[in-house]
Amino acid sequence: MPTTTIPVSTPESVYHITIQAGLLRDLDAAAYGLDQHVIIASNPTVSALYGETLAARLPHASLVLMLDGERYKNLDTVRSLYEQFVKTGADRHTTVIALGGGVVGDTVGFAAASYMRGVRFVQIPTTLLAMVDSSVGGKVGVDLPEGKNLVGAFKQPAAVLIDPDVLTSLPPLEWRCGMAEALKHGLLADATLLDPTLHTPDRAAEFVQRAVQVKVDIVQADPYEQNIRAYLNLGHTFAHAIERVTEYAWPHGEAVGVGLMAAVKLSHALGLCDAALVKHVDTLLAETGLPLRLGGLDADALYAAMGTDKKWQAGHSRFVLLRGIGDPCIVNDVPRETVIQILRDML
């Protein structure tokens, strides 16, 4: 597949998402403004695969590390990144590259947004989930013990560089986790993403391009999440509660998969969609290998964890639901007992 460039308009500027097989191998530093001082921030696993090679290709690069896993997406890690930035001599003209999955992108992005009141930032996502979701849209941040993504900022990248070839090193679990977000985009806006023939690594470039375009269209229309950008949270109220209750033992993508199932079941329970949609989503998730059950988690604990969800307002529940494929909606004040029943039915 040839190089694809997707422009993204933001209130401040326009940046480009470049999707190109072999991009990391053939990276032109000057073309992306990476020929001056650059900090590549990654985790040990991704650094060993791609970070050290990338650092060697760039003329003035420093490599810094953070630990991987949602439990390290916190302010302690951000402080560690600041300290490493200082040691490399980073100033306001330094570019920070986030090389890794969503945890790296969110955490490093927040550090870049706040270090010296903000330095230039480039996303190089290395997981399917990060490619189709977290690297696009300019939302960065970290978790607090009280809830997920409660501290953050809007930090638009200078560029997003996507090399589908890196997906060949992705473990099956990470592929499934990315699929959950891509299926979400299909349910929201592009039904072709639900076609199983597209769900293979050899069609990754096309699949990523389609999924990215869905998010780009939404975030351009609503860059600061004032209205329709909230649709991207389909399934996430449930997912974030699962992550918090299990102390992030569930990978984000698997939690999103179950969250999509719960959101569609809730949509049906409220009379918004028909049973055929519930069956369709059940089949899609099963074919992808994503979990369909909550595995004995406590329904009351999950509901309580939803109370810190950013989408809830003044203590009132707020869910992104579906009337059909491509027809999302936001429903407020869903009865607690209805949500609890959905959760218990999925245990």
Burial label, 29 (beta-carbon count in 10 A; 0-12, 13-18, 19+)? middle
CATH of the domain at 304: 1.20.1090.10
Please, what is the angle between helix 236-245 and helix 299-306, to 10°?
110
Instruction: Mark whether 157 and 230 lie in a shared domain.
Output: no
* Strand, helix or coil for residue 23: coil
Residue 39: which CATH number?
3.40.50.1970
Asked whether residue 273 falls in the same domain as residue 138, the answer is no
pLDDT band, very low/low/confident/very high, at 107 (cuts 50, 70, 90)? very high
Residue 200 counted as domain residue: no
CB 50 within 8 A of CB 166: yes
Tokens of 116: 């010296």
30, two tokens: 């000057």
Q: Are residue 265 and residue 150 in the same domain, yes or no?
A: no
**Are residue 333 and residue 250 in the same domain, yes or no?**
yes
Which of 121, 74, 77 is closest to 98 using CA atoms? 121
Q: Do residues 324 and 225 both lie within one domain?
A: yes
pLDDT band for position 98 (50/70/90)? very high
Do 251 and 307 belong to one domain?
Answer: yes
pLDDT attached to residue 131: 97
Residues 163 and 15 in one domain: yes
11 located within any domain = yes
- Give the pLDDT of residue 316: 86
How far is the C-alpha of 72 from the C-alpha of 131, rounded, in Å? 20
Give me the percent of the chain exceeding a pLDDT of 70.
Answer: 100
Q: In the 8-state DSSP scheme, what is residue 230?
A: G
Whether 100 and 112 have beta carbons less than 8 Å apart is answered as no
- 135 plus 233 within the same structural domain: no
Grade residue 5 by pLDDT with cuts at 50, 70 and 90.
very high
In a domain, 37, yes or no: yes
Domain count for the chain? 2
Decide: helix, strand or coil at residue 314.
Answer: coil
Ranking 25-39, 47-61, 293-307, 311-325 by mean pLDDT, the lowest is: 311-325
The one-letter amino acid code at 279 reads K
Q: How does residue 311 score in pLDDT terms, banded at 50, 70 and 90?
A: confident
CB 262 within 8 A of CB 321: no
Same domain, 163 and 230: no
How far is 51 from 7, CA to CA, in rounded Å?
26
The predicted-structure confidence for 315-332, as pLDDT tens digits, reads as follows: 789 999 999 999 999 999
| Domain end among 170, 194, 209 | 170
Chain segment 248-276, per-residue pLDDT in tens: 999 999 999 999 999 999 999 999 999 99
Q: Domain residues for 90? A: 4-170
Helices (DSSP H) in the chain: which residue ranges? Answer: 44-46, 52-57, 75-87, 102-114, 128-129, 172-188, 204-221, 236-245, 252-269, 275-288, 299-306, 336-345
Best CA proximity match to 92, nearest among 116, 110, 126: 116
Given a contact cutoff of 8 angstroms between Cβ atoms, the answer to whether 238 and 295 are in contact is no
Condensed to tens digits (0 to 9), the pLDDT of residues 192-244 reads: 999 999 998 889 999 999 999 999 999 999 998 899 999 999 999 999 999 99
The mean pLDDT value for 101-117 works out to: 98
Distance CA 124, CA 136 (A): 11
Residues 10 and 139 in one domain: yes
| 70: its two tokens | 């949602």
Cβ neighbours for 72, distance < 8 A, ≥ 6 positions apart: 66, 103, 107
Which one of 110, 143, 170 terminates a domain? 170
pLDDT at 112: 98
Query: What does pTM read for this prediction?
Result: 0.93
Q: Say whether pLDDT at 309 is over 80.
A: no
pLDDT of 156 higher than 90: yes
Is residue 138 a part of any domain in this protein?
Answer: yes
Q: Which residues contact 275 (CB under 8 A, 6 or more apart)?
A: 268
Q: How confident is the model at residue 1 (pLDDT cuts 50, 70, 90)?
A: low
Query: What is residue 155's predicted lDDT score, i.e. its pLDDT?
Result: 96
Question: Could you tell me which of 172, 298, 188, 279 has the C-alpha nearest to residue 235?
Answer: 188
Residues 149 and 244 reside in one and the same domain: no
Same domain, 150 and 223: no
For the record, the structure tokens of 51 come out as 């970070």
Strand 139-144 and strand 147-154: the pairing is antiparallel
- Residue pair 8/201 in contact (Cβ under 8 Å)? The answer is no
